[in-house]
Amino acid sequence: MNTPTPAHRVLLVDDDVELCDLLTEYLRREGMTSDVVHDGEAGVSRARSGDYDIAVLDVMLPGIGGFEVLRRVRAGGGAGAHLPILMLTARREEVDRVLGLEAGADDYLIKPFSPRELVARLRAILRRARVEPEVPETPRRLFRVGDLELDGAAREVRRGGERVELTGAEFDLLEVLLRAAGEIVTREVISKVALGRQLLPYDRSIDVHISNLRRKIGPDARGAERIKAIRGIGYIYARPPVSDSDGEQ
**pLDDT the model gives residue 122:** 93
- Assigned domain for 178 exists: yes
Q: Is the pLDDT of residue 248 over 50?
A: no
- For residues 209 and 170, the answer to whether their CB atoms sit within 8 Å is yes
- Assigned domain for 245 exists: no
User: What is the domain range of residue 62?
Assistant: 9-128
Domain count, the chain: 2
- Assigned domain for 229 exists: yes
pTM above 0.75, yes or no: no
34 forms bridges with which residues in the sheet? 10
122 and 148 inside one domain? no
**pLDDT the model gives residue 130:** 62
* pLDDT per position as a tens digit, 3-34: 445 689 999 999 999 999 999 999 999 999 99
Q: Which residue has the higher pLDDT, 247 or 6?
A: 6
**Domain boundary residue, one of 69, 99, 128:** 128
**pLDDT the model gives residue 36:** 97
CATH number, residue 197: 1.10.10.10
205 and 232 inside one domain? yes
* pLDDT per position as a tens digit, 204-242: 888 999 999 999 999 988 888 999 999 888 999 986 434
**pLDDT the model gives residue 90:** 81
43 and 120 inside one domain? yes
* pLDDT per position as a tens digit, 83-134: 999 999 887 666 777 777 878 888 888 888 889 899 999 998 888 776 444 4
66 and 100 inside one domain? yes
